A and B are shown apart, each in its own frame.
Chain A
Amino acid sequence: MTLGDLWFIVDVLFWVGFFVLEGFDFGVGMLHSFLGRSDSERRVLVNTIGPVWDGNEVWLIVAGAVIFAAFPGWYATMFSTFYLALVVLLLALMLRGLSFEYQRKIDDPRWRSTWRWSLTIGSALIPLLAGVALGDLLHGLPIDKAHQFTGSFFTLLTPFGLWSGVTMLVLSLLMGATYLSLKTTGELRERAQKAAAAIGVVAVVVTFGFMTWIHVGLSNGFVPKPIEALGLIAVIAAAWLASVKAEGWAFVAAAVGIGATVGSIFQELFPRVMISTTNAAYTLTVNNTASPPYTLKVMTVVAVIFFPIVLIYQAWGYHIFRKRLAVPRVGGDDVAEKSPEVPAET
């Protein structure tokens, strides 16, 4: 295994980590508008991910930065190819990120509903667009000899890319619903359980389609690779566990499901990183886009030291905020909603 191969795997880990961790954040972001019937309920739902979403989003930043450092050629082609899609992605990331901090800052219904829908729509757009982009890498795009994209924005909307996007969206919803069943109490928990069971059915259908397409459709064979089988089994298990209200295991299974789905894309891709439909010879690969060995060695040393530390303190964060959240009944709501002091004091 070359250093390039190693860094391909590291980058896959960051993409998988991003979809697993932000998957439920996106799910909660999308679902909070629908599962929460009052403002205080929606507030509780958002606060289930409050302490952790920001740290989770860094997985995306690092996944991108790792491509930049380890595979500059891939980074250059990929980011310039997806130009307009990335503008929309950035817009979604901005509005969603701000909505956490800004929604409660002004006591005005229009201000609040603007940020509420920013969070909801942003949380849907990000997994959708990121899924389309990853799917496109594997489906292939018109790329010329100089590794330049020769299509337009609409070329990016490949059928497989779109299906990947929808798969990521639905699996994020499934993760969000199982996460909320784990993190809330009472009526909210019941609603989240019902939502998880319903989304589970859709997720099984979508994932079955995805795994069939990625394997049979793109590489001509009927026996699925282990990671593809694992992804499908995990999603089926998650749907079943959600329907019998085994919340913890349903969440774990959904996490494995989304992780294996992302992993499947990269497994089918390797050692290619971005396929050219113009000519197979123009396809970007680990070898023709990787940084020279010195850079990869330096990165390896940094990653070996710091990645475990990151995992430890992020895990500690989850440990601190492990309890379920209940909707306050002490009349705290009134204090919270009428006075801007509450969020401001944080």
Chain B
Amino acid sequence: MNLDLARWQFAITSIYHFLFVPVTIGLAFLVALLQTSWYRNGDETYRRLARFFGALLLINVAIGVVTGLIQEFEFGMNWSAYSRLVGNVFGGPLAMEGLVAFFLESTFLGIWIFGWNRLSKKAHLATIWLVAAGTILSAAFIMAANSWMQHPVGYVINHQTGQPQLNNIWALFTNPVFVWSYIHVLLASLVTGAVIMLAVSAWHMRRKQQVEAFRRSAMISLAVLLPAVILALFVGSELGVVEATYQPMKIAAAEAQWNTCDSHCSFSAFQIGGGNNDHTPTQIIEIPSLLSILATNSPNGKVEGLTQLNAQYQKEYGPGNYIPNVFIQYWSMRVMAYLATLVFVFALWGGWLLYRKRMDQAKWFLRIAPWVVILPFFINTAGWMLAENGRQPWIVQGLMKTANGVSPSVSATDIWISLVIFVLIFLVLGVADTWLMLRYGRRELGHDPLAKLVSPGGDAGPSSTEHESSDEDESALVY
């Protein structure tokens, strides 16, 4: 009971957290690009675009940060046995994340928000790039920690205590699972940010609002989106091969492959039925050899089956069931891959329209684009479900089972209380955030009201003393 509740809570809080993280990483980078364009050619349009999309970034950062706090606390609150055993390895990257990345991101975000007229153009541009760098670095440490759970490296087992102890920190950052999944996450984040920017731009273009300006943001977002989505598909497929090597169970479950297939294994596009109790689902549209290619990069590749892997694990780790939830694996893999392909097609379409200079008139593209915004969120969530569900029943692959990681002193009542509180607050914040995003995304790309405020004029006819203090007034009204 405690285990299930703690798992539900972790799943809900981490999935919710990761709705906002890729938006932050992606938009921080894109806003930095917009501001760089302004810095380079002095065109005010880019400055307004940077501030416009900067507002959307900030609405998201706020929730991303506060939901991230829950994540850090939860390891100790709900998974204290896990933290006690592997904190000396897993805690390291988390502490580094705070010291190296989160300080950077948070400090410079504050300076960026308030520094528009206080800093030189160059220094202010540097602050947004430092924010973007902070988000990208932050992801590196978190992914290094997560990848260690998927494929533990750089440790030795202490023979007296049986505890895994860190003995090579570099191994955590050269871990193949880390390298590929980190790049994958960064690309997915760029896709998310770029799709949002494109969607907002298309919405305005369709309404003929400031078409000139929003065509530019559409161009920049497509310039990021198209390569990012193509690379994400390739890197994702390579990540599949890496995972098939270190976590064969994860891939076998993602294909509902119950029995080992020696070569030319086929990939099913869909299936009816399936799951842990149905080993013979009806598979629809089987593509020959594709599974072998996805799992091993070769059409002759062997894909081990769940039944055989389970028997092998039982020999290695003792009796038990080592098969993750096959239904979740099979479908999260497909939701991720199919929707990502849709985004790719959409990006190609947009790229072609831009190339032919016909985006302004492309009614259907502009009409569909705002709706595409929901796809990355499903893709990202499905990707994490694939990664985390596929690791079960392990909390650290081969070292500790999830069932043994839970806090012994925390009661089911405690977890119920926190779970209900978190879910309620998430619902409220989710509604508030969506509403604000829609409202601020549809806003006109206005002139800068702060600039109006500090310049003389208007009915009041400001005196010279007021004009002197105008510098202060601006900072006084940012929040």
Contact = CB atoms under 8 A, between A and B. Distances in A.
Contacts of B91: 65, 68-70, 72, 75, 291, 295
A64 B72 contact: yes
A64 B448 CA distance: 40
A87 B473 contact: no
Nearest to B419: A87
Interface in A324-345: 324-332, 335-336, 339-345
B453 A328 contact: yes
B111 A317 contact: yes
Contact of B62 (A84, A97, A149): A97
A143 to B, nearest CB: 9
Given A72-B83, A76-B87, A335-B452, A66 B77 contact: no
Contact of B119 (A57, A76, A97, A320): A320
Contacts of A344: 52, 55, 440, 443
B434 to A, nearest CB: 13
Interface string A280-296: 00000000000110110
A276 interface: no
Chain B interface size band reads 35 or more
The interface centre, meaning the residue of A46, A72, A340 with most chain B CB atoms within 10 A of its CB, is A72
B311 interface: no
Interface stretch (B35-43, B92-100, B340-348, B365-373): B92-100
Contacts of B100: 302, 306
Interface string A110-148: 000000000000000000000000000000000000111
Interface stretch (B102-110, B284-292, B331-339): B102-110
A277 interface: no
Given A299-B92, A326-B469, A55 B83 contact: no
B430 interface: no
B469 A58 contact: no
Given A68-B91, A295-B88, A80 B110 contact: no
Given A53-B110, A291-B88, A58 B59 contact: no
B152 to A, nearest CB: 15
B459 interface: yes
B446 interface: yes
A47 interface: yes
A90 B66 CA distance: 8
Interface in B404-422: 407-410, 414, 417-418, 421-422
Given A79-B80, A332-B453, A69 B113 contact: no
Contacts of A329: 460, 462, 466, 473
Interface string B441-464: 001001011101100001110100
B62 A76 contact: no
B73 interface: yes
B477 A57 contact: no
B416 to A, nearest CB: 11
A94 interface: yes
A75 B83 contact: yes
B476 A55 contact: no
A336 to B, nearest CB: 5
A165 B432 CA distance: 32
Interface string B15-56: 000000000000000000000000000000000000110110
A57 B62 CA distance: 13
B116 A306 contact: no
Nearest to A337: B477
A326 B92 CA distance: 44
A246 interface: no
Contacts of B462: 329-330
B402 interface: no
B414 A84 contact: yes
Contact of B72 (A46, A65, A307): A65
B443 A346 contact: no
Interface in A308-323: 310, 313-314, 317, 320-321, 323
Contacts of B78: 80
B421 A87 contact: yes
Nearest to B415: A83
B76 A298 contact: no
A87 B425 CA distance: 12
B427 to A, nearest CB: 13
A51 B106 contact: no
A261 interface: no
A233 interface: no
Contacts of A68: 72, 75-76, 83, 87, 90-91, 94-95
Contact of B88 (A62, A84, A292, A314): A292
Interface stretch (A99-107, A211-219, A247-255): A99-107
B191 to A, nearest CB: 25
A150 B409 CA distance: 7
Interface in A26-63: 43-44, 46-47, 50-55, 57-58, 61-62
A62 B98 contact: yes
A86 interface: yes
B94 A50 contact: no
Contacts of A105: 59, 436, 439-440
Given A86-B77, A87-B418, A330 B473 contact: yes
Contact of A94 (B69, B167, B436, B477): B69
B449 A101 contact: no
The interface centre, meaning the residue of A57, A292, A342, A346 with most chain B CB atoms within 10 A of its CB, is A346
A81 interface: yes
B99 A310 contact: yes
Nearest to A89: B73
B448 A75 contact: no
Nearest to A301: B169
A205 interface: no
A50 B425 contact: no
Contacts of A320: 111, 115, 118-119
B58 interface: yes
18 contacts: A43-B479, A61-B69, A62-B103, A66-B95, A75-B84, A81-B409, A83-B418, A87-B421, A87-B422, A100-B479, A146-B408, A295-B89, A295-B165, A320-B115, A321-B114, A323-B472, A332-B477, A340-B440
Given A44-B477, A50-B113, 15 more contacts: A61-B98, A65-B97, A69-B87, A79-B77, A79-B80, A80-B80, A80-B407, A86-B77, A98-B62, A98-B63, A325-B475, A326-B469, A332-B477, A341-B449, A344-B443
The 3 closest A-B pairs by CB, nearest first: A72-B87, A79-B76, A69-B91
Interface of A: 43-44, 46-47, 50-55, 57-58, 61-62, 64-66, 68-73, 75-81, 83-84, 86-87, 90-91, 93-94, 97-98, 100-106, 146-150, 291-292, 294-295, 298-299, 302-303, 306-307, 310, 313-314, 317, 320-321, 323-332, 335-336, 339-346
